[in-house]
Amino acid sequence: MKNWIKTKNNERLDLALIPVLPVYELREEIIELKKRPIAFFGKDWGKGYVRLFVVLADDEQGELLVSSTIFDATMREYESITQVIPAFHMFEREFYEQFGIKPLNHPWLKPVRHKQNDYEFFEMEGEEVHEVAVGPIHAGVIEPGHFRFMCHGESVYHLEIMLGYQNRGVENLMLEAPSNQLAESIAGDSVIAYNTAYSQVMEALREIKISNKAELIRKAALEMERIAIHIGDMGAISGDIAYSMGAAVFGVTRTLVINTLLEWSGSRFARGLVTVGGVNFDLPQSLIKSTLKTLDKVETDVVRMTKTMLKNSTVMSRLEKTGTVSAERAEEIGLVGMAARASGYPLDSRFDFQDKWVAELELKQKKFKAKGDVNSRFKIRYKEIKQSISMVRKILAKLEEFANEEILTSSCVAYKKDSFVVSIVEGWRGEVVHVGMTDGFGNLSCYKIKDPSFNNWYGLALAVRNNGISDFPLCNKSFNLSYAGFDL
């Protein structure tokens, strides 16, 4: 394995140890290894050179494989990897957009976040064929994006999704003025996931070790976030099939969870809780007690409502066999997180790249009978809510052992020079990946972010194929992907 360097989640790697391969060799290695890409990005290497970094995930071993290649100013193209491994399609498009180095024979080398006016949509011709264009502003209170449906009568032949409207230049801002508040605002529905990933990168680059207590509070908050958003999504799915009782009950149940987070941190989405060096707020016994009590009620309400709902044949007829993505397809296009698990592709970085708490708290990944349809994505949320509630209970019980520990470690330490850190956090959508790099002066020189939506938007496009166009809102909600996290 001299062509790759192995590292772990949240571990600092010396930049000098990362191999540099000729691009054709790197391509062959990637194809041969058959591992999942979690980062694939360029960095300006000075004097017209561009260095391309590749991070592959070895989910079975819990390891990350890192390698790179350097393009000089005359090398403006290479043979695309996407034509062999489709999961690279978005990564290669992004690299092309940012550095102008062309992946040859890429099947659809379209813009990712910029130049929407130059976007060439696929077109379909024939009798009863028509197109429906929606967005960027949608009917509900949601983020902007443009959808173009190619329809044959009522059924959708293909959907193209053009994003980029939300682009705020986050990766550049991160280099200029990195802060926890900025990290929290990249995707405001995954506050804890993003802020934890950012904080872990910063801590690894500075080699700070945070207290057990802080680690556990972060972990509990991450599960609380998952519980809250999953319940909200179940309500939204109910709303989209006009099952108002579900929408109302899940809506108010979610309020209980986010109001608990408000008690933890002063914000309903737990903004300000996680910070570099630990957490800002301790969880006193009284709060732990009230949280456990709330979780009991939440669990009862969610179980009762879900059972009622799934007994209803009119509900089931809308959820079952709608928007199906098969396990093979999910793996082929590189779905991640909850959507992948609902398709029977069991990726979960909480367990694949586990920290010490998974063993200590005896947390187990649960099997899920996946069918890949909206019903599966509804049910997996239900199962994950129950699992997360039990995890929070275990974490809060464990907290007692560390009651005397500090919640905050001083972070006034300089970055280590020439370092490379990958941090993966399993947010409620899936893996949130942050990569940080420092240069020889000890300055932050590169910050790269990958939201699970970066992988999963294409999954939505596949899900709506051969479905009625009126089922699109339902399919969309069942994925509930991030626009801001994709657009950065």
Position among 212, 280, 326, 354 found at the interface with another protein (CB under 8 A)? 280
| Interaction between residue 313 and another protein (CB under 8 A) | no
How many other CB atoms are there within 10 angstroms of residue 117's CB atom?
Answer: 6
Using the minimum distance from each CB to another protein, give the nearer residue, 80 or 260.
Answer: 260
Chosen residue from 182, 288, 327, 469 binding another protein by CB under 8 A: 182
Contacts with another protein, 113-142, as mask; x by CB under 8 A: xx-x-------------------xx-xxxx
> Judged by CB, which is closer to another protein: 180, or 375?
180
Q: Rounded CA gap, 216 and 224, in Å?
A: 12
Cα–Cα dist 111/167, whole Å: 13
Beta strands 77-79; 102-104: pairing state: parallel
One of 61, 121, 307, 360 touching another protein (CB under 8 A): 307
* Torsion angles phi and psi, residue 37, rounded to 5: -80, 135
Cα→Cα distances 175→129, 171, 249, 448, Å: 47, 7, 43, 10
For another protein, the binding residue among 83, 98, 155, 308 (CB under 8 A) is 308
Choices 21-29, 47-55, 84-92, 476-484 (CB under 8 A): range interacting with another protein: 476-484
Does residue 292 belong to the site contacting another protein (CB under 8 A)? no
Cβ nearer to another protein, comparing 35 with 226: 226
For residue 27, the minimal CB distance to another protein (Å) is 32
**Least spacing, CB of residue 268 vs another protein, in Å:** 7
E strands within 207-264? none
Neighbouring C-beta atoms of residue 139, cutoff 10 Å: 8
Q: Are 53 and 66 in contact (CB under 8 A)?
A: yes
- Using left for φ > 0, alpha for ψ between -120 and 50, and beta otherwise, residue 368 falls in beta
Q: Is 165 one of the binding residues for another protein (CB under 8 A)?
A: yes
Q: Does 251 bind another protein (CB under 8 A)?
A: yes
Q: How far apart are CA 146 and CA 157, in angstroms?
A: 17
Show the site string, 207-246: x = touches another protein by CB under 8 A, - = not. Answer: -------------------------x--x---------x-
Q: Binding residue for another protein (CB under 8 A) from 92, 189, 352, 431?
A: 189
473 binding another protein? (CB under 8 A) = no
- Return the residue of 29, 63, 94, 143 that touches another protein, per CB under 8 A: 143
Report the relative pairing of strands 63-71 and 77-79 from DSSP bridges.
Answer: unpaired
Residues 6+ apart with CB under 8 A from 288: 396, 399
Size of the site for another protein (CB under 8 A): 62
Residue 255 found at the interface with another protein (CB under 8 A): yes
Do 440 and 417 form a contact (C-beta atoms < 8 A)?
yes
To which residue do tokens 């998974």 refer?
358
Pick the stretch among 49-57, 170-178, 397-405, 434-442 that binds another protein (CB under 8 A). 170-178
Q: By CB under 8 A, tell whether 110 contacts another protein.
A: no
Structure-token pair, residue 143: 């983020």
3 state DSSP class of 480: coil
Closest separation between CB of residue 175 and another protein, Å?
12
Burial of 206 (0-12, 13-18, 19+ CB in 10 A): buried
Q: Is residue 412 close enough to count as binding another protein by CB under 8 A?
A: no
Q: How far is the CB of 417 from another protein (least distance, A)?
A: 24
* Cis peptide, bond prior to residue 136, ω within 30 of zero: yes
Q: How far apart are CA 435 and CA 94, in angstroms?
A: 16
Subset of 343-372 contacting another protein (CB under 8 A): none
C-beta closer to another protein: residue 13 or 315: 315
Contacts of 321 (CB under 8 A, 6+ apart): 373, 375
CB of 305 to another protein, least distance (A): 6
Is residue 263 involved in binding another protein (CB under 8 A)? Answer: yes
Q: Which is nearer to another protein, 173 or 413 (CB)?
A: 173
DSSP letters, 61-104, are TTEEEEEEEEE-TT--EEE-STTT-GGGHHHHHHHHHHH--EEE
Which residues contribute to the site for another protein (CB under 8 A)? 113-114, 116, 136-137, 139-144, 164-170, 172-173, 176-177, 179-182, 185-189, 191, 232, 235, 245, 248-249, 251-252, 255, 259, 262-269, 271-272, 280, 301, 304-305, 307-308, 311-312, 482-484
